[in-house]
Amino acid sequence: MAILEIVHYPDPRLYTVAKPVAVVDDNIRKLVRDMAETMYAAPGIGLAATQVDEHQQVIVMDISEDKSKLQVFINPRILQADGMQEFEEGCLSVPGIFEIVKRPEKITVEALDIEGKKFKLNADGLLAVCIQHEMDHLKGKVFVEYLSQLKQIRIKNKMKKRLRETM
Ligand code: NI
């Protein structure tokens, strides 16, 4: 296993649209393992392949208290979305930034698991937020893009300052 480098906003690689996985093979399973290790090490509760510069539709997630429930979504698709909720979101690609985002409250998602088997899941609350946030990454979208232009500029400046300080 390996810890992968997480791409930070506003790196243009985060705007890449991920391709569907054609076959869930050992290469994909290795990517899933490395992404899970990277997410747990960060630590974070979700990671999309886009964030480690792999542009395939793969998401890992673990919202359990004791980090014992890894969830994997390959080629995820939202079949249904209802209601609206506001949640304070953060992102491993935008460290230190937490902002309220409005999203559908309940979703039904269909995806493939690590065996390539199709499954359907009803999600609400944090799980629904997390799935939608990570699916946005696969479409080349970062959560700060839901915020006002002014806020986006401020966050970009903050990220650039942070980058200079760590170099
Ligand atoms: Ni994110």
- Per-residue model confidence as pLDDT tens digits over 47-83: 999 999 999 999 999 999 999 999 999 999 999 999 9
Q: How far is the CA of 132 from the centre of ligand 1 (A)?
A: 10
pLDDT band at residue 158 using 50, 70 and 90 as cut-offs: very high
Give the tokens for residue 22: 């054609």
Which is catalytic among the residues 86, 110, 134, 165? 134
Q: Find the mean pLDDT for residues 101-110.
A: 98
Q: How far is the CA of 2 from the centre of ligand 1 (A)?
A: 20
Whole-structure pTM value: 0.96
H-type alpha helices, 65-148: 125-138
Q: How far is the CA of 90 from the centre of ligand 1 (A)?
A: 7
Is 165 labeled as catalytic in the residue annotation?
Answer: no
Class of domain 12-166: alpha beta
Name the residue ranges covered by the structural domains of the chain.
Answer: 12-166
Task: Transcribe 24-83 into DSSP letters.
Answer: --HHHHHHHHHHHHHHHHTT-SEEEGGGGT--BSEEEE--STTS---EEEEEEEEEEEES
State the first-to-last Cα distance of the chain, in angstroms, to the nearest integer.
27
The H or E element spanning position 6 is: none
Give the tokens for residue 154: 């401020």
pLDDT band at residue 15 using 50, 70 and 90 as cut-offs: very high
